[in-house]
Structure 1
Amino acid sequence: MKKKIAIIVVVFWMIVIFCLSHQPANASNELSKWIAHILAQNVDLVTSREDFNLTSFNSLIRNYAHFLLYFVLGIIVVTTLKKMGVTGVKGILLSLLICVVFAITDEWHQLYVPGRGTELKDVLTDSAGAITGITVTVGIAWLVRNIRVASVK
């Protein structure tokens, strides 16, 4: 049952990414502008208002969104594969393959969305997010396993 739920979570997250990518350019930009505006309300905490550029900040938010969405995807894919018994280097490489192929197909899908296009930069950002998510998950699992072993000795 846990394996099925894990697979459902992966598919759900891929659907979330697909739906965000399926938004026409103007709707996608409005969503990121809204998020940028909300975050910018706290800009005084990190910079002065004179230095702040909402357009640049919006672009940064869009890049972080790519990274974050695939960071989460990397985590849940590698965790799901582990639940299915695919671990070690094989689990890491298969997780990476799944995430990168999904990033490529997601960018390709955007060719058919009004005002959107395909950018290699986005695939690279998505892939970096997935690699980071996979690495963090595997690293934490390794630490936990070795701390347990050390505490037993």
Structure 2
Amino acid sequence: MERRKYILISLIFLIFWVGVILFFGTRNPEESSNQSQFVYNVIKSIDNVFDFSDTKWFREIEVFLKRLWLGDQYADSIALVRKSAHFGIYFILGVFSWLFGYLYSKRLLIGTLLGVSLPALIAVVDEYSQEFVGRGSSLNDVLIDISGAVFANIIILVICLIYKICKEIYLRYK
């Protein structure tokens, strides 16, 4: 019964997060722009307190992400915030998808397959649905979304590997 409870809870989180993603995807261009501007203003307010944007590592990360996600096209900071949101939201979806897949099957492979394939499917559906609310769809956004889910799954697998190694070492010297 305990396992079923965890499976159900993880499924609820997964469905909720898919709903959040689809909700953001169905905002019209003006609402979406206002949301991005709000997040940008919050980040700037935090930056005014901690002054992290003048550090070398911040500038290097910013240049790297702009080059990776936006290529040669000019991009302001709000565009980077939007792309980072794509990555982060699908990172979380990748975690929830992996968790549900693993709890349901008790297999790392199934968790990983679901942790990447479900976010990829949702990313495609989300970008397609944006066409109906006056926003354009972008293959680049789908790739950023998938990269967020893949990165989440890589981190999860590394954590599982470290846990397994530590457990074996502990049991060997116990």
TM-score (norm 1): 0.89
Q: CA deviation at 1:30?
A: 0.7
Q: CA deviation at 1:141?
A: 1.7
Q: CA deviation at 1:147?
A: 0.8
Q: Aligned equivalents of 1:101 and 1:46: distance in 2?
A: 35
Q: What does 1:35-50 correspond to in 2, within 5 Å?
A: 35-41=39-45, 42=47, 44-47=51-54
> Deviations along 1:38-84, whole A, 9 cap, x unmatched?
21131543229xx9xxx711111000000000000101111111100
Question: Quick one: which of 28, 31, 35 aligns to 2:35?
Answer: 31
Q: Aligned equivalents of 1:138 and 1:18: distance in 2?
A: 27
The answer on whether the counterparts of 2:96 and 2:115 sit within 8 Å (CA) in structure 1 is: no
| 2:137 equivalent in structure 1 | 118
Which structure 1 residue ranges, 4+ long, deviate > 4 Å from structure 2? none
Q: CA deviation at 1:26?
A: 0.8
| 1:83 equivalent in structure 2 | 103
| 2:112 equivalent in structure 1 | 92
Between 99-108 and 86-95, the greater mean CA deviation after superposition: 86-95
Q: CA deviation at 1:90?
A: 3.6
In structure 1, what residue type is equivalent to 2:24? L
Q: Aligned equivalents of 2:77 and 2:9: distance in 1?
A: 37
For the pair 1:18 / 2:38, whether they are aligned, the reply is: no
Q: Aligned equivalents of 1:145 and 1:79: distance in 2?
A: 17
Count of residue pairs brought into register by the alignment = 147
Q: CA deviation at 1:142?
A: 1.8
Q: Residue 147 of structure 2: SS of its match in structure 1? A: helix
User: Over aligned residues, Cα RMSD in angstroms?
Assistant: 1.8
Q: Aligned equivalents of 1:89 and 1:117: distance in 2?
A: 34
TM-score (norm 2): 0.79
| 2:66 equivalent in structure 1 | none
Structure 2: unaligned runs, 5 residues or longer: 60-74
Structure 1: unaligned runs, 5 residues or longer: none
The answer on whether the counterparts of 2:112 and 2:153 sit within 8 Å (CA) in structure 1 is: yes
| 1:61 equivalent in structure 2 | 81
